[in-house]
């Protein structure tokens, strides 16, 4: 079982509401800033993108890498975080 970070567990534990994009697992300051520049200033907007990509982890990871310059690890972490959040709340 892969270990999840505290950030991941915190995010997945409750509805995201208006949390900033940096609340997502794998998204730190730098990536958060890049995403905000593109208009993804809240976690739910990124969720929107994830849903638009039909919740496909691979597509979303690729998109995130292209858009924010994230590396594979962070992108996968974010993707997993969103997937689990969706499993719980969507």
Partner 1 sequence: MATLRSKSDQEIRELLDEYGIKHGPIVDTTRPLYEKKLKEAMAKDKKVTKPSSDKTFYREEQEEVTYVTYRTPVMYMETAFLCSDHIPEYSHVRLTPPPVFRPHVYNTPSYSSYSKPTPVVKSGGVVVKEEKTESSGRLVPLWIQFLVFLIVAGFLYFIFINMESVESSPFNRIQ
Binding site for partner 1 (CB under 8 A): 49, 52-54, 56, 59, 62-63, 66
Dist. CA 62–CA 75, nearest whole Å: 8
Least distance (Å) from partner 1 to the CB of residue 51?
Answer: 8
**CB closer to partner 1, 52 vs 88:** 52
Least distance (Å) from partner 1 to the CB of residue 55?
Answer: 9
**CB closer to partner 1, 15 vs 39:** 39
Least distance (Å) from partner 1 to the CB of residue 48?
Answer: 9
**CB closer to partner 1, 4 vs 49:** 49
Sign, CA torsion 26/27/28/31: positive
Burial class of residue 17 in the structure, from the number of CB atoms within 10 Å of its CB (0-12 exposed, 13-18 middle, 19+ buried): exposed
- The neighbour count for residue 39, using CB atoms within 10 Å, is 8
């Amino acid at each position: 079982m892969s270990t999840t970070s505290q950030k991941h567990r915190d995010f997945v534990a409750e509805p995201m509401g208006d949390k900033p994009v940096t609340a997502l697992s794998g998204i730190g300051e730098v990536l958060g800033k890049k995403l905000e520049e593109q208009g993804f200033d809240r976690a739910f907007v990124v969720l929107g993108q994830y849903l638009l990509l039909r919740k496909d982890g691979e597509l979303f990871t690729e998109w995130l890498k292209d858009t924010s310059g994230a590396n594979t690890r962070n992108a996968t972490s974010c993707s997993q975080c969103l997937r689990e959040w969706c499993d719980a709340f969507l």
